[in-house]
Amino acid sequence: MDFLRPASWEEALAAKAEHPTAVPIAGGTDVMVEINFDHRRPEYLLDLNRVGELHEWEAGEDSVRLGASVPYAKIMEHLRAELPGLALASHTVASPQIRNRGGVGGNLGTASPAGDAHPALLAAGAEVEAESAARGARRIPIDDFYTGVKRNALAPDELIRAVHVKKADGPQQYSKVGTRNAMVIAVCAFGLALHPETRTVRTGIGSAAPTPVRARAAEEFLNAALQEGGFWDNGKVITPSVAKQFAQLCSAACNPIDDVRGTAGYRRHAVGVMARRTLTWTWESYRGARNASKGAA
């Protein structure tokens, strides 16, 4: 196995162009496990740790440009206000040691349905900035990024440079079920973001389908129900029947399997419960903020 150590982003792109089979490694959270378990023996490892810019982030007007290697611990610490859903998801990643090393780029590169960041990225609305030496940079909408089980939309010569996530314009929540109270791979996970500016709701489901998915029918139902009832304006409590139907539609968006971590039936059920609870939490938070701002006015 050859270990390539580019000193800059340009060198990294050149190396990837020359060796399209090279597996990029930053935190090593996924890659090292696969190598240790002998699940894969890449010909080349492409170490991105010398590319300093990948560890940086920049909060712009509307979105945050998050370097691919920014560790989860930094997201939790510094981006809680801008990216609340992703910060909550980061909290659930493995152990403190791993949160100091692992970043969103690795989650996207592996594209495992169990990756903790995916539901939050889907709910918030993100774009993946990919680049190749030959064709330059492009932005891939998160909705188009996951193409199959552990497959993504990257070309063989492309690397993930950053992910652009919209800054929260409303409350976001993230829940994950595991059979242990910390340091556990998701049995299933759910992300929810309210977008008051566009009066829409977005969701993300993890570990309950071959890829991370949005519960589109559930979103459409909820968008319509919120619109019809004038909820965005009147700030009323969401009726239990609406929450229930939203939960059922989220369950229906799952296409899970039975495996050693849980049953398909449980995953569908748990996604429904998480959908209902996160909807309640985000909506109560939205109402609270709305009432507080009215009170101030």
Partner 1 sequence: MSSPKLPPAFAQGGAPTGAPTRITQGSKTKGGIGESTLRPDGILKVTGEFAYSSDMWHEDMLWGQILRSTVAHAEILSIDTAEALATPGVYAVMTYDDLPAEVKHYGLEIQDTPVLAHGRVRHHGEPVAIVAADHPETARRAAAKIKVEYRELPVITDEASATAPDAILLHEGRTDHHVGHVPHPNIVHRQPIVRGDAEQAAARADFVVKGEYHFGMQDQAFLGPESGLAVPEEDGGVHLYIATQWLHSDLRQIAPVLGLPEDKVRMTLAGVGGAFGGREDLSMQIHACLLALRTGKPVKIVYNRFESFFGHVHRHPAKLYYEHGATKDGKLTHVKCRIVLDGGAYASASPAVVGNAASLGVGPYVVDDVDIEAVALYTNNPPCGAMRGFGAVQACFAYEAQMDRLADAVGMDRVEFRQLNAMSQGTVMPTGQPVDSPAPVAELLRRVKAMPMPPERQWESSEGADVRQLPGGLSNTTHGEGVVRGVGYAVGIKNVGFSEGFDDYSTARVRVEVVAGEPVATVHTAMAEVGQGGVTVHAQIARTELGVARVTIHPADTQVGSAGSTSASRQTYVTGGAVKNACELVREKVLDIGRRRFGSYHPAWASAELLLEGGKVVTDGGEVLADLVDVLEDEAVEVEREWRHRPTEPFDLRTGQGNGHVQYSFAAHRAVVEVDTELGLVKVIELACAQDVGKALNPLSVVGQIQGGTTQGLGIAVMEEIVVDPVTAKVRNPSFTDYLIPTILDTPVIPVDVLELADDHAPYGLRGIGEAPTLSSTPAVLAAIRNATGLELNRTPVRPEHLTGTA
| Residues at the interface with partner 1 (CB under 8 A) | 33, 36-37, 88, 91-92, 173-185, 187, 260-263, 265-266, 268-270, 273-274, 277, 280-281
Task: Decide whether 6 or 178 has the Cβ nearer to partner 1.
Answer: 178
Tell the smallest beta-carbon distance from residue 159 to partner 1 (Å).
27
Beta-bridged to residue 146, according to DSSP, are 152
Q: In the block, which residue shows the tokens 């594209």?
A: 111
Residue 163 · residue 105 · CB < 8 Å: yes
Tell the smallest beta-carbon distance from residue 273 to partner 1 (Å).
5
- Rounded CA separation 218/297 (Å): 34
Q: Which two tokens stand for residue 148?
A: 């199959």
Tell the smallest beta-carbon distance from residue 268 to partner 1 (Å).
8
Tell the smallest beta-carbon distance from residue 179 to partner 1 (Å).
5
Task: Decide whether 197 or 258 has the Cβ nearer to partner 1.
Answer: 258
Residue 240 · residue 225 · CB < 8 Å: no
SS3 content of the chain, % helix, strand, coil (to 5): 40, 25, 35
- Rounded CA separation 45/123 (Å): 32
The strand pair at 2-4 and 44-47 is best described as parallel
Task: Decide whether 6 or 119 has the Cβ nearer to partner 1.
Answer: 119
Task: Decide whether 78 or 91 has the Cβ nearer to partner 1.
Answer: 91
Task: Decide whether 74 or 268 has the Cβ nearer to partner 1.
Answer: 268
Tell the smallest beta-carbon distance from residue 259 to partner 1 (Å).
8
